[in-house]
Structure 1
Amino acid sequence: MTEQATEEDILLAKRIISAAERHDVPALNILLKEGSANVQNLTATVATSPLHAAIAACGKAEDEKEAGDDAVQTVETLLQNGAIWNDLNKEDETPGCIALRLGQKKIYEMMVEAGVRAEMLFARMKALGLGDDIEDSEEEEEMREEQPAAKKQKVSPQDSKAIQEVIEEQVLDDVSLDNRAYLKSQLRYKPGILLDESDNAVMMDWETQIMQRHAETLIPKPGLRTMNVGHGMGIVDTAILTHDPSEHHIIEAHPQVHQRLREQGWYDKPNVTIHEGRWQDVLPKLVQQGVVLDAIYYDTFAEDYAALKEFFVGYVVQLLARDGRFGWYNGLGADRQICYDVYTKVAEMDLHEAGFDTAWEDINVPSGLHGSDQWEGTRRPYWTIDVYRLPVNTFFK
């Protein structure tokens, strides 16, 4: 709803939200011929959209009893009429967040699937060049402004061109929004944490257990040829070397990290080769040289999911040995469970299309990670959920 909304518009919005809240599908079908599934009731205390209202009205699932068919049909009707899967209400919750909080598993899965469909459709449109001229709705613009971004995947593809134009004129308030801005920024190494110029945590030592497990799953025996993209604090590279690779490549683009690599003697370590530069520039040269690797790991910063997909579709498939393994730091959407589940499924589908089988291992994050003191001095927490889903990817047999 906008400031220019008429009384008639406001009344229609309230009627749509009321029908959704009552799970009255026949009434909803009639009302949606006149109005949008994304109307907002600005006077509501919790539900600001029909989808939020419909799911909140289900109440808490008790004794394994979940919402009935009328609620499911209501959610389906709203989604079919364009309801936004990750729209935010005044409580900073998406519809899926409400379903998860209430224990409504079936409806939560519906929201995850809706998110996957939306993200896959948008990616297809972008690939076909059909999305560039489509203006975002007011709700989508507001959602992007309000929703915290996750570590390592900071910006939607549709924003990247505009941000790049701004980069040339002024310093971004948040350098994690653009990889080239990040690479020009000043980093700060502190005990247990690496911060960028905008106080984003690039890496933290709580990730050590995860990085060590990545190394274990990717490198099952000594003597393998390995590569890591994104050195940061050096946690995963240190873990990889404990598995005695015959050669280990490190691709790192930030000049300050290069300096730290020199100070810590990485350039002189046996079997280690440091490649200074962005992977987009380094990897084509390695492909041309005929480099073959048994294990590849990816953990960059200030790059979006489109970059990760380009990495495995364009380069992993060329560099990885037929029986090799590929993994990446799975931080996609980790500041919100619904987003994490959606992007995990999107990644698995894209990997399958590229010729990979994906196995997942769940790892509980440290119990004290969600305390506010853990993130003191940082711009925002990049991890707010309980379980890390570790991917191991191998080519189809």
Structure 2
Amino acid sequence: MADQVQVSEEDILLAKRIISAAERHDIPALKVLLKEGSANVMDPTATTATSPLHAAILSCGEAKDGKEAGDDAYQTVDLLLSNGAIWNDLNKEDETPGCVALRLGQRKIYENIVEAGVRAELLFAKMQALGLGDDDEEEEEEGEEVLEEQPAVKKQKVDEETAQAVTQAVEEEILDDVSKDNKAYLRSQLRYKPGILLDESDNAVMMDWETEIMQRHAETLIPKKGLKVMNVGHGMGIVDTAIQTHEPAEHHIIEGHPQVHQRLREQGWYDKPNVIIHEGRWQDILPKLVEQGVVLDAIYYDTFAEDYAALKEFFSEYVVALLAPDGKFGWYNGLGADRQVCYDVYTKVSEIDLHEAGFDTEWEDIKVPAGLHGSKQWEGTRRPYWTIDLYKLPVNTFVK
């Protein structure tokens, strides 16, 4: 049994002093204290898990009549972020610093948090691409946490018994929530109910409140009849039904789940003259289409149990190879949609990555149904996947 980590009285006192200085926006004191301690300390004796960043924002209070906190508060937040404060750290109220700033109406501080999140996510992705994530012992101190992705496991030598235990734990975790692993999801049992598609872990894969969004995606991607279109991820068939109303010359559908294939057969999709069904994962199908020289006028992406890294690979490796020069690419923008600050961070991250891949992105704001968050619509599901008011619809075209 591993020894428990003992926190000394000196460490507790230092944590309290850092949190107190952050709460008072005492920048000179904070600069001195951060030379001794971390911007991510927690007071283990406190009843709430409040980081210095949470404390600095909470003490600003609610912005009234458009009057926000002063420069000392903004500079305190900036100092903490520059010293490695984690932008999406959670307190016991399940709020990130950005959630607190947004709730209090502190927009300037909120935007600072968003920009810090964008920098952190881009840096983390670069580190992963360079193979630095596994060996970087300062990862936690730098605050590089990525949404919906697990940081790389540290490379350690372990005995066979320990390795088997770890493997079993991972498998049990995946079985408990198949949305964490795409291959596990594709092996899982789905349930079609009125207005909703559920996986075997009770995650909502798709819901009919998305219909207006899907129809608008089809409208923005397919401006006229007779185009060659591809959709990746059929699900309930909402977007493919919308695509059909635009009378495409070719309508490719990539779908990996066997139960969805059966539903496609039952609903006659295999018999439609302009529809081509590709059974399997896009990672296996798209390289073959690229080899065949397929060119498409519009591509839409909406998969399940895949993270942002998969989306980035999709557009940077395959959309660039399959899309016609004047074609359009769209994707279901649900990244971090259970928390406004995460949604804003990943909207900006994706736009930066898309531009790097050669795309211009235009955004259209669509209001989601009123009262969606907290409604009975989520009863029977594992968790709400959407809690914010606006959907930001992306339309991507090649940079001219």
Q: Is TM > 0.5 for Structure 1 vs Structure 2?
A: yes
Q: Does structure 2 retain, via aligned residues, the 8 Å contact 1:230–1:300?
A: yes
One-letter amino acid of the structure 1 residue matched with residue 150 of structure 2: S
Contact 1:156 1:304 in 2 (8 A): no
Cα–Cα, structure 1 residues 199 and 138, in superposed 2: closer, same or farther, change >3 Å?
farther
Decide which of 224, 230, 247 is 1:244's aligned counterpart: 247
1:114-170 deviation line (CA, Å, top 9, x unaligned) = 0000000000000001112235539979x99xxxx7xxxx433637x9999559855
Does the aligned pair in 2 maintain the 1:155–1:178 contact within 8 Å? no
Match status 1:156 vs 2:163 = no
Measured against aligned partners, the alpha-carbon deviations of 1:330-364 in whole angstroms (never above 9, x if no partner) come to 00000000000000000000000011000000001
Alignment of 1:334-373 (within 5 A): 334-373=337-376
What's the % identity of the aligned pairs? 80
Counterpart of 2:37 in structure 1 is 35
- 2:328 pairs with 325, 329, 334, which one? 325
User: 2:116 maps to which residue?
Assistant: 114
Match in the other structure for 1:97: 99
Residue correspondence of structure 1 range 182-331 to structure 2 within 5 A: 182-331=185-334
- Cα offset, 1:172, TM superposition: 2.0
Alignment TM-score, normalising by the size of structure 2? 0.92
Q: What is the CA deviation profile of residues 170-196 of structure 1, one whole-angstrom value per residue up to 9, with x for unaligned ones?
A: 562100000000000000000000000
Q: 1-side partners of 2:30 and 2:293: how far apart?
A: 60
TM-score, normalization: structure 1? 0.93
Matches of 1:165 and 1:241, distance apart in 2: 44
- In the alignment, structure 1 segments of 5+ residues that lack a partner are none
The separation in 2 between residues aligned to 1:261 and 1:166, in whole angstroms, is 35
- Does the 8 Å CA contact 1:47/1:56 hold for their aligned counterparts? no
- Equivalent AA in structure 2 for residue 211 of structure 1: M
Q: Aligned letter for 1:40? A: M
For residue 63 of structure 1, report the CA deviation from its aligned partner. 1.6
SS at match of 1:357: strand
Q: CA deviation at 1:28?
A: 0.2
SS of the aligned residue for 2:94 comes to coil
How many residues are treated as equivalent by the alignment?
A: 387
Shift of 1:263: 0.6
For residues 352 and 234 of structure 1, the distance between their equivalents in structure 2, rounded to whole angstroms, comes to 30
**Equivalent position of 2:24 in the other structure:** 22
- In structure 1, how many angstroms separate the alpha carbons of the residues matched to 2:393 and 2:333? 7
| Distance in 2 separating the partners of 1:319 and 1:165 | 38
**Residue 11 of structure 1: aligned partner:** 13
Helix, strand or coil at the partner of 1:248: strand
CA distance in 1, matches of 2:74, 2:170: 48
Using CA pairs below 8 Å that are at least 6 residues apart, which structure has the higher relative contact order? Answer: 1
The alignment partner of 2:384 has SS state of coil
Question: What RMSD over aligned residues (CA atoms) do the two structures have, in Å?
Answer: 2.3
The equivalent of 2:397 in structure 1 is: 394
Instruction: Provide the C-alpha distance between the structure 1 equivalents of 2:8 and 2:324, rounded to a whole number of angstroms.
Output: 63
